[in-house]
Amino acid sequence: MELNLQGKVAVVTGGSKGIGLATARTLLGEGARVVVASRTTTPELAALVGPDLVHIPADLTDPEVPARAVRHAADVFGGLDILVNNAGGPPPGVRLPRFSFLAPTDTDWQVMFEFNLFSVVRAVRAAIPLMLERGGGAIVNVSSGNARQPGAMNVDYAAAKAGLNNLTVALSEEFGPQGIRVNTVSPGPVRTAWWTEEGGAADILADVAGSNRNDVMDKLAPEMMNLTTGRLVDPQEVADVITLLVSPRSASTTGADFVVDGGFLKAV
Q: Which of 157, 175, 195, 258 is catalytic?
A: 157
Closest listed residue to residue 115, CA positions, set 41, 61, 39 = 61
CB 231 within 8 A of CB 157: no
Region for 43 from its dihedrals, namely left if φ exceeds 0, alpha if ψ lies in -120 to 50, beta otherwise: alpha
266 located within any domain: no
Based on the fold, state whether residues 214 and 186 are members of the same structural domain.
no
What does the pLDDT read at residue 24? 98
Q: pTM of this prediction?
A: 0.97
CB under 8 Å to 199, separation ≥6 — which residues?
A: 95
Q: What's the per-residue H, E or C state across the chain?
A: CCCCCCCCEEEEECCCCHHHHHHHHHHHHCCCEEEEEECCCCHHHHCCCECCEEEEECCCCCCCHHHHHHHHHHHHHCCCCEEEECCCCCCCCCCCCCCCCCCCCHHHHHHHHHHHHHHHHHHHHHHHHHHHHCCCEEEEEECCHHHCCCCCCCHHHHHHHHHHHHHHHHHHHHHHHHCEEEEEEEECCECCHHHHCCCCHHHHHHHHHCCCHHHHHHHHHHHHCCCCCCCCECHHHHHHHHHHHHCHHHCCCCCCEEEECCCCCCCC
Identify the CATH number of the domain in which residue 96 sits.
3.40.50.720
Based on the fold, state whether residues 249 and 184 are members of the same structural domain.
yes
Distance between CA 139 and CA 9 in Å, rounded? Answer: 12
pLDDT tens across 122-180, in order?
A: 999 999 999 999 999 999 999 999 999 988 999 999 999 999 999 999 999 999 999 99
What does the pLDDT read at residue 268? 84
Block means of pLDDT (10 residues each) for the chain, 268 residues, are 96 98 98 98 98 97 97 98 97 94 98 98 98 98 96 95 98 98 98 92 94 95 96 98 98 98 94
What does the pLDDT read at residue 1? 87
CB 62 within 8 A of CB 125: no
Based on the fold, state whether residues 37 and 148 are members of the same structural domain.
yes
152 located within any domain: yes
Distance between CA 38 and CA 61 in Å, rounded? Answer: 11
CB 189 within 8 A of CB 233: yes
4 located within any domain: no
Based on the fold, state whether residues 106 and 211 are members of the same structural domain.
no
CB under 8 Å to 44, separation ≥6 — which residues?
A: 16, 17, 21
Based on the fold, state whether residues 154 and 201 are members of the same structural domain.
no
265 located within any domain: no
157 is catalytic: yes
Based on the fold, state whether residues 197 and 246 are members of the same structural domain.
no
Quote the number of domains for the chain: 2
What does the pLDDT read at residue 205? 94
Structural domain containing residue 83: 9-190+234-260
CB 151 within 8 A of CB 158: yes
2 located within any domain: no
Distance between CA 119 and CA 60 in Å, rounded? Answer: 6
52 located within any domain: yes
- For 3, phi and psi rounded to 5 degrees? -95, -5
